Homo-oligomer: A and B are copies of this chain.
Amino acid sequence: MVEETHQKTVKLPHFTKLQKQNPHLDKTKPYPLDGTLVIDFTHVLSGPTCTRMLADAGARVIHIERPTGDDTRHMGPYLKDGSSEYFRICNAGKESIALDLKNDKDHQLVEKMIAKADVVVENFRPGVMARLGLGPEEMTKKHPRLIYASISGFGQYGPMKQDAAYDTVVQALSGIMDATGQPAPKGRPTRVGTSVSDVVAGIMGYSAIMTALYAREKTGKGTTVDISMLDSTLSLMVQDLMTVLGPNFVPERIGNRHPYMYPFDTFMCKDDMIAICCGNNHLWELLCNALGKPEWINEPKFNTNNKREANWEAVKADMEAVLKQDTADNWVQKLDAAGIPVGNVKNVSDTIKMPQVIDRGMIKTLADGNSVLGTPLKYGTWNSYGAQKDSPKLNENGDAIRKEFK
């Protein structure tokens, strides 16, 4: 672990006070998954993201950890008390039991837990759970109502099923890295600055589990679920897939701008960058006026979207010459007031201070004062605050769970 002593610190806003004012974040509402039991064999990121969503929806999630704990307990960033925020953000709201799956007694306990479970989730390499006698086919045959979800890099079948999957490798293979960044030859393929392949696979896992639970209510049938990080990441690539599957063109990397509309791009102001999206002549006219350049409206080089797109470098240079005369914040205020779609390019430490983000409870403060990501799934009828317990200490619920399932 590299020490992070040079970094700028950020002061968090007072989430709790603002959240209290919002009736949509009523912590006392019933949860949509009340009474649902999930046995969670996951570790690190894709699997825990899926089971965190289940916990946020009110399922009881029992996280089975190896005796040394989930790997992320030993990864930073750390709080002052030595606890890992990586582990916390992925596991808040879950219970923990430490088990050795190769030990007979622990194995028997796990079998009893699965017998009572609605859902099992695991993200080992394909075959690991089967070798432990806990494989998806075996368990769903034994328990026909069980939903057994496996999340892996490349899926439970296919020639690459055994390959090690790291987010960066999956991003590379999926096409998302080649599509991100400035155009060739100067610009290079660029990794999305978050583990998007892991997280999206977790969300897809949640989607499939909920689909399977609904189908079980209708038919009585359980099922295996097989989610791959590569499939999930490829599913994000709709625009480039249109280009390949429609006219059969190879898509090209084009930086921050839109392929067919201009100005629809990021722009530098005096101090910082903003995004401006004007997809039609009406918005272009509003923009020209707001920039104090009404003469651009009828400028022959710029007066249709096709011309602006063809001359986008000239449009951008002319716009930035004006934008550089004032700050990003001032321009966002001015352009927003003029009805133009605009936004600051924010660091996430500023995103979480946005009143819109706070009001929607997207960062929530747990009972013990620690903060984690909130839930984006908001319901009128159901609890939309998400799980309210901190992440468990290793084996925190071990004794109680051993008694309950003995």
Contact = CB atoms under 8 A, between A and B. Distances in A.
29 contacts: A7-B252, A22-B157, A35-B218, A53-B207, A85-B243, A85-B247, A158-B356, A160-B356, A165-B341, A166-B277, A168-B266, A169-B275, A169-B342, A172-B266, A173-B344, A174-B346, A175-B351, A180-B193, A188-B273, A189-B266, A195-B239, A207-B207, A210-B214, A211-B379, A214-B214, A226-B379, A227-B376, A228-B360, A235-B362
A177 B266 CA distance: 10
A264 B166 contact: yes
Given A245-B12, A251-B347, A381-B223, A2 B176 contact: no
A316 B81 CA distance: 35
Contacts of A249: 4, 7-10, 77
A178 interface: yes
Interface residues of A, number: 164
Interface stretch (A62-70, A98-106, A254-262): A254-262
Interface stretch (A197-205, A291-299, A398-406): A197-205
A343 B277 contact: no
A238 interface: yes
Contact of A190 (B180, B218, B251, B363): B180
A332 to B, nearest CB: 10
Nearest to A378: B226
Copies in the complex: 2
B241 A89 contact: yes
Contacts of A75: 260
A128 interface: no
B90 A238 contact: yes
B343 A2 contact: no
Contacts of A392: none
Contacts of A190: 180-182, 190, 193, 255-256
A270 interface: no
A2 B306 contact: yes
B177 A228 contact: no
A154 to B, nearest CB: 6
A161 to B, nearest CB: 8
Contacts of A287: none
A384 to B, nearest CB: 8
Contacts of A32: 211-212, 214-215
